[in-house]
Amino acid sequence: MDNKGIGIFDSGLGGLTVAKEIMEMLPDEQIFYLGDTARMPYGSKTKETIIKFSKENTAFLLKKNVKMIVVACNTASALALKELKNEFEIDIIGVIEAGARAAVEATVNRRIGVIGTRATIASGAYVDAIKKYDSRAKVFTSAAPLLVPLVEEGWLSNKETESILRHYLAGFGPKKIDTLVLGCTHYPLLKPLIKKIMPKVTVIDSAREIARTVRAMLEARDMTAKKGAGRKSEFFVTDTPAQFNKVGRFFLKKFMVEAKKVRL
């Protein structure tokens, strides 16, 4: 048993999809969430910058005395996970592996699509991770940079969002994918629209997959928190807490708690 909290960071609010899944699956765990809203988006930044920001986020969460760190941001997981693991002693897990493994388990025809930010797609991290689990899988990718701002604005079912999504997903039809990985924190909120556009495709939500991985890891090491510990989770942002307090509930629903602004 280990009653220390779980640290989660993202470039902004999207990682709340991961926080919510973990809070739902592991209700006794205390979460410390950091959204680096002052410096988001990460998806259009260079590897060097993403590594620097990710190290600073990790250092902040370590001050909360957490037992593990979850890199909820797909972009940071794709570009900085290795460097974080090299630098810090604590267990650090990213979202790419869990999503890749789930996609390989789900696909029947071994044709998998991935959407993500420009940086995530350019890194090739999902292709590498999927091929690690199945070297014969065919992976097709599409960068979808306009989706993050749409979700941040809460445009989850507008016709404009649907038409942009149709544009990004159009290339997957001829490739005959049967599985699509949502390789970005924000995209799980677009799942209903994606299902409408691609009803026959299995959609892999990496937020849910990472929550399963966290649970399995804590259970295997006997590190889960005491039942009914009831400690309050805390949320931090590096800028615009008002925006968190407005949009955060789309992501967190019943787990919504107001965020505090911090300096890293």
Contact status, residue 115 vs residue 182, Cβ threshold 8 Å: yes
Total residues in contact with ligand DGL, by rule CB under 6 A: 18
Q: Toward ligand DGL, which CB reaches closer, 210 or 225?
A: 210
Which residue is closest to ligand DGL by CB? 43
- Cβ closest to ligand DGL, residue 15 vs residue 241: 15
> Based on CB atoms, which residue is closest to ligand DGL, 33 or 42?
42
The verdict on 37 binding ligand DGL (CB under 6 A) reads no
Q: What is the 3-state secondary structure (H, E, C) of 173-189?
A: HHHCCCEEEEECCCHHH
185 in contact with ligand DGL (CB under 6 A): yes
Name the residue nearer to ligand DGL (CB basis): 17 or 202.
Answer: 17
Find the binder of ligand DGL among 165, 184, 190, 210 (CB under 6 A): 184
Give the closest residue to 243 by CA, choosing from 7, 14, 8.
14
Q: Among 93, 98, 148, 218, which residue interacts with ligand DGL (rule: CB under 6 A)?
A: 148
DSSP per-residue codes, 40-106: ---TTS-HHHHHHHHHHHHHHHHTTT-SEEEE--HHHHHHHHHHHHHH--SEEEESHHHHHHHHHHH
Residue found by looking up tokens 């990790």 in the block: 58
How many residues are present in the chain?
264
Half-sphere exposure (CA, 13 Å, Cβ side) for 157? 4
Toward ligand DGL, which CB reaches closer, 188 or 225?
188
Q: Which of 34, 68, 177, 184 is catalytic?
A: 184
Residues 100, 133 contacting (CB under 8 angstroms): yes
Active-site residue among 50, 66, 73, 147?
Answer: 73
Rounded to an integer, what distance in angstroms lies between the CA atom of residue 176 and that of residue 171? Answer: 10
Closest separation in Å from C-beta 111 to ligand DGL:
23
Residue 73 annotated to the active site: yes
Q: Counting contacts by CB under 6 A, is residue 209 touching ligand DGL? A: no
Grouping H, G, I as helix, E, B as strand and the rest as coil, residue 118 is helix
Shortest Å, Cβ 109 to ligand DGL: 27
Contact 117, 44 (CB under 8 A): yes
Binding flag, residue 240, ligand DGL (CB under 6 A): no
Q: Closest distance between ligand DGL and the C-beta of residue 2, in Å?
A: 27
Per-position b or e across 35-44, b if 16+ CB within 10 A of its CB: bbbbbbbbbe
Residues 56-95: x/- map of binding to ligand DGL (CB under 6 A)?
Answer: -----------------xxx--------------------
Interface with ligand DGL (CB under 6 A): 10-12, 14, 40-43, 73-75, 116-117, 120, 148, 184-186
Active-site amino acid positions: 73, 184
